[in-house]
Amino acid sequence: MRFSEVVRRAADASWSKSLRHPFVMGIVRGDLPREKFRFYILQDIFYLKDFAKVHAIAATQSNDFRITAMLAEKAKSTAEAEIGVHKTHAELLGLTHEAIEAVRPAPTAFAYTSHMYRAAMSGRLEESIAALLPCYWLYAEIGRTYRDAQPADALYQNWINTYASDWFQSSTQEMIDLFDRLAEEATEKQRERMKAHFVIMSEWELAFWEMAYREERWPSETLSIETGATR
Domain total for the chain?
1
Residue 162 lies in a domain: yes
Residue 94 lies in a domain: yes
Tens of pLDDT, residue by residue over 180-220, are: 999 999 999 999 999 999 999 999 999 999 999 999 999 98
DSSP assignment string, the chain: --HHHHHHHHTHHHHHHHHT-HHHHHHHHT-S-HHHHHHHHHHHHHHHHHHHHHHHHHHTT-S-HHHHHHHHHHHHHHHHHHHHHHHHHHHHTT--HHHHHTPPPPHHHHHHHHHHHHHHTT--HHHHHHHHHHHHHHHHHHHHHTTT---SSHHHHHHHHHHHSHHHHHHHHHHHHHHHHHHHHS-HHHHHHHHHHHHHHHHHHHHHHHHHHHT---HHHH---------
Res 227: pLDDT? 56
CATH of the domain at 141: 1.20.910.10
* Catalytic residue ranges: 135, 205
Residue 204 lies in a domain: yes
Residue 60 lies in a domain: no
Range of the domain at 121: 3-49+82-215
Residue 229 lies in a domain: no
**What pTM was estimated for this model as a whole?**
0.91
Residue 164 lies in a domain: yes
**Residue ranges for the chain with pLDDT beneath 70:** 78-79, 81-83, 85-87, 225-231
The mean pLDDT of the chain is: 91
Residue 62 lies in a domain: no
Residue 134 lies in a domain: yes
